[in-house]
Amino acid sequence: MKSKSFRSLKKLVGAAFLAGLLASCASPRTILDVGSRAERDNQQRWAEVQYNKALVAADEKLAESPGDAEALEVKGIAGRKLAQIHEDRGEKKEAYAALEASAAAGYGSSISRLAKLHSDGVYIPRNLRAVLPGYARLANEDKSIRASMLLADLAKQGKLKGSGLNTNSSYWYAKAASYGSVRAKDDLARLYASSGRLNEAKRLIASQGRTKAVGKYLSLAKDTLAGQDGIRKNLKAGVFWIKAAAEINPERASSTAASFYRKTDSEAERAAVLPYMLSIPSARINDLIADYEALTDENRKREVFAQIRKVADEGNGKAALLVARVLRGNNNAINEEALKYYGIAASNGQKSAVRLLVDQASFGKAGNSATDQIVSTLTSVAESGDVDASIALARFYELGGPTPKNPKKALYWNKKAADAGNQEAQFNTGVAYAEGNGTSKDISAARHYLVAAADSGNSAAKAYLQSLPAK
């Protein structure tokens, strides 16, 4: 029980002031308790003084006994309390300094708050070495993505040296990635890529799903081919990433390859990306043909022509037409090699190739080896469904010249074109059935084809229908 004289003194000088006097030679814990009581009594300024005194006392204790558990606890609490008081008054600079002191003592909530401020660039600790163990604890024990990423970034900056922590940024990125951070996976993949660990980087990116992976592969391809964003220029690695993207989305990979192809002047670089540029020939062949026609260097032209020819052999009509023209040269006659490619072009939608073959055949005679080869090619084109080739063959077999006259074959090709909707062929087929050319007379079949031609606007078919016997 307190004496009467003590109670009188307390009343005279004030409870908080007396408590402070008594605490001046007391332990850090006692001073902290005084500050807490003052805070509860809304004596914020007095509480601030006591918390500062508690911090000083705790630091003195720690200087004598490093690692003293009680002193660390007091420092952690006093620092956090001071930080709150300063925050309430809008004193951010003082609040962050107090928070750092608390975090340096290992106070959990202060470490988390400081890590956020640090990673957001709001506040950089003045004594980084003192708070690093707290960051590491958050990363290792609490599985904090933020702390792991912060330590990874600090490792990249060389700020973990001599701290006793792992100084390899990939170690901390791997932790954050294992906790589910997408950014960590991306950063780790870039680290692997920049150090030549391409397959490891690819596996890490692939774990994020095929759709996302394509964009990230191509981003790495662009950076690696250009030597930018912290990645050294490496043609082989750049092609590796284009290939990885092409396995999922050939068209996007082809677009990236084409963009690089147009920008570079290096023959080796162009040759390396060319196969991927052509992974979607229909989308990229126009660029390649334009390049070929613009080139003046004969060695470069031969290189590009070889690639165009490869695409032509895969059935691309545009590529085949260019190859045919080049192989034919200035000759009027079509040589056997050029004929092959005119056939590919004609069978793949190139109408100019069909017209050229028809014109060439029209001046030939059956039995001439060159003419026979052209007719054979046209026959293959017509069988693939080309109506113009079918009509041309029907005319050849009807009139003779490039082929012997053969009414039956003339009807075959007319009927094939007629069934595809060509009104000229419908009229010719109707007449053949009506007159028995190449077949026995069949008025019903004749009327069927002539009506179809007439409905398509063929006036000759309308007139011919009038001459057919009544049903």
Q: Is the pLDDT of residue 9 over 50?
A: no
The pair phi, psi for residue 20, each rounded to 5°, is: -65, -40
Instruction: Check residue 278 and give its pLDDT.
Output: 62
Q: Is the pLDDT of residue 403 over 90?
A: yes
Read off the pLDDT of each residue in 15-30 and give the average, rounded to a whole number: 50
Instruction: Check residue 42 and give its pLDDT.
Output: 65
Contacts 24+ apart (CB under 8 A), 193-198: 193/220, 193/224, 193/231, 193/237, 193/241, 194/230, 194/231, 194/232, 196/237, 198/237, 198/240, 198/241
Give per-residue pLDDT as tens, 46-99: 778 877 888 888 888 889 998 888 889 888 888 898 898 889 889 999 999 999
Q: Is the pLDDT of residue 17 over 60?
A: no
Instruction: Check residue 3 and give its pLDDT.
Output: 45
Instruction: Check residue 35 and give its pLDDT.
Output: 59
Instruction: Check residue 342 and give its pLDDT.
Output: 92
Q: Is the pLDDT of residue 8 over 90?
A: no
Q: Is the pLDDT of residue 113 over 60?
A: yes
Contacts of 115 (CB under 8 A, 6+ apart): 134, 135, 138, 144, 146, 147, 150
Binning pLDDT at 50, 70 and 90, where does residue 295 land?
confident
Instruction: Check residue 2 and give its pLDDT.
Output: 43
Q: Report the distance separating Cα 406 and Cα 396, nearest Å.
A: 9
**7-21, 183-197, 439-453: lowest mean pLDDT where?**
7-21
Domain 1-126: give its CATH code: 1.25.40
Q: How many CB atoms lie within 10 A of CB 285?
A: 21
Structure tokens of 53? 């005194």
Instruction: Check residue 5 and give its pLDDT.
Output: 45
Contacts of 237 (CB under 8 A, 6+ apart): 193, 196, 198, 224
Give per-residue pLDDT as tens, 114-168: 999 999 999 999 999 999 999 999 999 999 999 999 999 999 999 999 999 999 9
Q: Quick one: what percent of the chain has pLDDT higher than 90?
A: 54
Q: Is the pLDDT of residue 21 over 50?
A: no
Q: Report the distance separating Cα 242 and Cα 254, nearest Å.
A: 8
Choose between 241 and 15: higher pLDDT. 241
Give per-residue pLDDT as tens, 159-215: 999 999 999 999 999 999 999 999 999 999 999 999 899 999 999 999 888 889 999
Does the CA dihedral 362-368-374-377 come out positive or negative? positive
Q: Report the distance separating Cα 210 and Cα 268, nearest Å.
A: 30
Q: Report the distance separating Cα 35 and Cα 49, nearest Å.
A: 8
Instruction: Check residue 235 and give its pLDDT.
Output: 94
Binning pLDDT at 50, 70 and 90, where does residue 454 land?
very high
Instruction: Check residue 189 and give its pLDDT.
Output: 92
Q: Report the distance separating Cα 309 and Cα 322, nearest Å.
A: 9
Residue 461 and residue 427 in contact, taking contact as beta carbons nearer than 8 Å: yes
CA distances for 85 relative to 42, 48, 49, 117, 185, angstroms: 11, 7, 11, 18, 39
Query: What is the crossing angle of helices 281-294 and 298-313, to 10°?
Result: 150
Give per-residue pLDDT as tens, 328-358: 988 878 888 999 999 999 988 899 999 999 9
Q: Report the distance separating Cα 110 and Cα 87, nearest Å.
A: 13
Instruction: Check residue 251 and give its pLDDT.
Output: 82
Instruction: Check residue 24 and give its pLDDT.
Output: 45
Give per-residue pLDDT as tens, 225-283: 999 988 999 999 999 999 999 899 888 888 888 888 888 888 888 888 877 876 655 55
Binning pLDDT at 50, 70 and 90, where does residue 307 land?
confident
Binning pLDDT at 50, 70 and 90, where does residue 12 land?
very low
Instruction: Check residue 396 and give its pLDDT.
Output: 94
Instruction: Check residue 10 and give its pLDDT.
Output: 38
Give per-residue pLDDT as tens, 408-424: 999 999 999 999 999 99
Name the residue ranges covered by the structural domains of the chain: 1-126
- Mean pLDDT (the chain) is 86
Q: Is the pLDDT of residue 404 over 70?
A: yes
Read off the pLDDT of each residue in 283-307 and give the average, rounded to a whole number: 81
Contacts of 349 (CB under 8 A, 6+ apart): 317
